[in-house]
Homo-oligomer: A and B are copies of this chain.
Amino acid sequence: MFDKLLHPDSVAVIGASADRSKIGSAVLENMRLQGFSGRILPVNPSCKEISGLPCYPSIEDIEGDIDIAVIALPAKAALKALEQCVNKAVNFVIIIAGGFSELGEEGKLLEKRIGEIIHGTGTRVIGPNTVGVIFPQSRVNTALTPAERISFPSAGDIAFISQSGALGLLVMDSISEHGTGISGFVNIGNRADITEEDLIEMFMEDSSTKSIVMYLESISDGEKFFTSIRRANRRKPLVVLKTGRTGAASRAASFHTGAMASDDRVLDGILKQAGVTRAYNEVELLDFGKALAYSILPRGNRVAVLTTAGGVGVVTTDLLASPDNGPPLSMAEFSERETAEMRKHVLPIASVANPIDLTADGSVEAFSSIMEILVESSNVDAIMAYALPQTPKIDLSIVEPLKRAAAGKTTVVGVIGHRMAKGLLSGLERAGVPAYPSTGRAVSSLRALCSYGEYLRRHGHEQ
């Protein structure tokens, strides 16, 4: 049903413009820059061509099928254009304009018109009040922010559904730093038609999606939502950042997207029951989504910590074992044989108790050998490894052994620092190993993996 959204052959931009300050220009340019190989069709009655593309006076003047039409016009004009899209039997229409239900009664009436216009037709609407969609694999990008201001992520495994457009774009800009990719981004906006449940369904069926992360300010239908996430989360892990936890924030959300807040305790219960991972800020949202997309799941919560910097191991142990942020994880206990085996690879001053501290003398070779022992160990469910290129014998070649370890057992990597560390983060990203730039983020992400693994085990799902 959503195939033509994920993989369109043609995208029209109604209100396309040559004026770089206009949204209709940014959308067209982003489609072009992304290298979309299908037809890009600018629509604007007062232009003959834009950026070398022939321009159409109206969508109805275009020959052939249109899979996606982006409407970059103000609210009232957008409704007229939507009617034309319906006449033209466009599959998916993205309405960018705000000025609908988020602005009170008059806007609500306008928004109701959207439902009426498409009722009984094959046309589906994303928005209004949306920046649209990004599908890197199909090279579709309808974002309204010009590419010189923002980095867009490459093709990857994480699907991102966001009620807020700006927050979504900011987060995607952030994750681009080390090359984290997405399978798709959809800003549902005021969701006059297509809802989060539709998109969960879409990404559940999409083979390139390995995890689904959602930013929501409100739930349109609690029961439908619960059914949807419970079903989806057993097949693909979901992460939800739902705001309005506090009264102050739900009032703010109602100004922002016109959303009516629900009781957060109810929502929290629903998420817990469905085993859905909850994030509390935008960084956790993508951190958890990445861990769940990249990593195999742990079969328990016994963690081995491996580092070349003792203090980092100690801080990590506290974060793992503390009950302050959810159920504590256990520090794995190694057998005598394993300990003796590890001893062979380290200096006498190194500690092979858990956390394992190779000290600054720890080399990529020693690190690899120890990880092999940990992957084989029946006493270890997950490895928390610090790849710290500031110590003299660790460098980018540590990516390969980390990748091998991650293929055999849940492995989350922490990297702390600046220049060399950034290179290593990017290298680990390319290798598909979940890596994070701090102890806190690494441990929280590992916790998310353990919780989800436990949820699936408890419900008898094979991993």
| Contacts from A to B (Cβ < 8 Å) | 21, 98-99, 102-103, 144-146, 149-151, 162-171, 173-174, 176-177, 215, 217, 241, 243-249, 251-253, 255-257, 280-284, 308-315, 317-322, 324, 328, 331, 349, 351, 353-355, 357, 359-360, 388-392, 416-421, 437-440
Contact = CB atoms under 8 A, between A and B. Distances in A.
Nearest to A165: B311
A50 to B, nearest CB: 19
Nearest to A107: B349
A283 B245 contact: no
> How many of these chains are in the complex?
2
A437 B286 CA distance: 14
Contacts of A21: 392
Contact of A349 (B99, B145, B388): B99
Given A145-B392, A252-B354, 9 more contacts: A149-B392, A163-B311, A173-B416, A174-B416, A174-B418, A243-B315, A252-B357, A255-B351, A255-B353
19 contacts: A21-B392, A145-B390, A145-B391, A150-B390, A162-B311, A166-B311, A166-B390, A167-B310, A170-B417, A173-B390, A243-B311, A246-B317, A246-B328, A247-B321, A252-B353, A252-B357, A280-B324, A280-B440, A283-B440
A416 B171 contact: yes
Contacts of A391: 145, 166
Given A256-B351, A282-B439, A164 B314 contact: yes
Given A318-B245, A320-B248, A150 B310 contact: no
A310 B256 contact: yes
Given A311-B163, A313-B256, A416-B170, A149 B389 contact: yes
B388 A166 contact: yes
A312 to B, nearest CB: 6
A245 B167 contact: no
Nearest to A312: B167
Contacts of A314: 164, 217, 243-244, 249, 252-253, 256
A99 to B, nearest CB: 7
A360 B217 CA distance: 18
Nearest to A389: B149
A301 to B, nearest CB: 13
B438 A281 contact: yes
B166 A315 contact: no
Contacts of A163: 311
Contacts of A315: 167, 241, 243, 249, 281-282
A105 to B, nearest CB: 15
A255 B357 contact: yes
Contact of A420 (B149, B166, B247, B357): B149
Contact of A281 (B283, B359, B440): B440
A102 B359 CA distance: 13
A90 to B, nearest CB: 26
Nearest to A166: B309
Contacts of A355: 252
A357 B439 contact: no
Contacts of A256: 310-311, 313-314, 351, 357
A379 to B, nearest CB: 15
Contact of A390 (B169, B255, B359, B419): B169
